[in-house]
Structures are given as C-alpha cells and as structure tokens.
Amino acid sequence: MNRYNFSDTIKTKFGKQRKSTLIYPTLPVDLSTDIYIRTTSIDRLDKLALYFYEDSTLWVVIATANNLGKGTIVVPPNTKLRIPSINNIADIITKTNQR
C-alpha cells in the first residue's frame, strides 16, 4: 500500500495534473487489532511504518494515531505508540476521502 493509493488525480485550472489532498481522519482505537509499543531508543516514524506496514510513506498514519510528527518524524526514547491495524486504516481512509 502507498499513501497515493487513496488520492485522486485532479487537474488544476492551469491544466496540470496533481494528486488531491488526502485527509487522514482520527483513527478509532481497536484493542483487538492495534499494536502498542514503547520505543527503547530514538526512532523514526518512517522506519516504524516500514517495519509494521512495509511502506515508509505511511508514517503519517502512526503520527496521526499518536498526535506526533509536527515538525519532525523522530520519536524520543520511552515513548508509548499505538500502531493501528493496516486493515482498519485502509477502510477508514478510503471512506473519509470518497467524493
């Protein structure tokens, strides 16, 4: 999966093509499928996304779920993080961005 899978291609008024803005909704907690971790050293959101989702571009999903990523993708040591289930996020993002 790639973050652009959910974006539509649109034309600007000047005729150029671009991807539409993707809205990441608040992700509901699902105790049966979400994973919780605690970082033991300095980590990065993109590396965590690559590990859990096999796609580093989905770092924004982890950032959104944990209210992180404003200005940096670095996660300090001893931070508790919620990793939403990949199946849940795909459905929620698709529904939020349907036009």
Q: Are strands 9-11 and 17-19 parallel, antiparallel or unpaired?
A: antiparallel
Question: The pTM is what?
Answer: 0.64
Task: Report the pLDDT averaged over residues 18-43.
Answer: 76
Helix locations, 1-99, DSSP H: 45-53, 59-66, 86-96
Q: How far apart are CA 16 and CA 31, in angstroms?
A: 43
pLDDT in tens, 43-97: 999 999 999 988 888 888 898 888 887 778 999 999 999 998 887 676 666 655 5
Domain ranges of the chain: 3-96
pLDDT in tens, 38-58: 999 999 999 999 999 888 888
Q: Tell me, what's the pLDDT at 22?
A: 55
Q: Tell me, what's the pLDDT at 48?
A: 95
Q: Are strands 74-75 and 80-83 parallel, antiparallel or unpaired?
A: unpaired
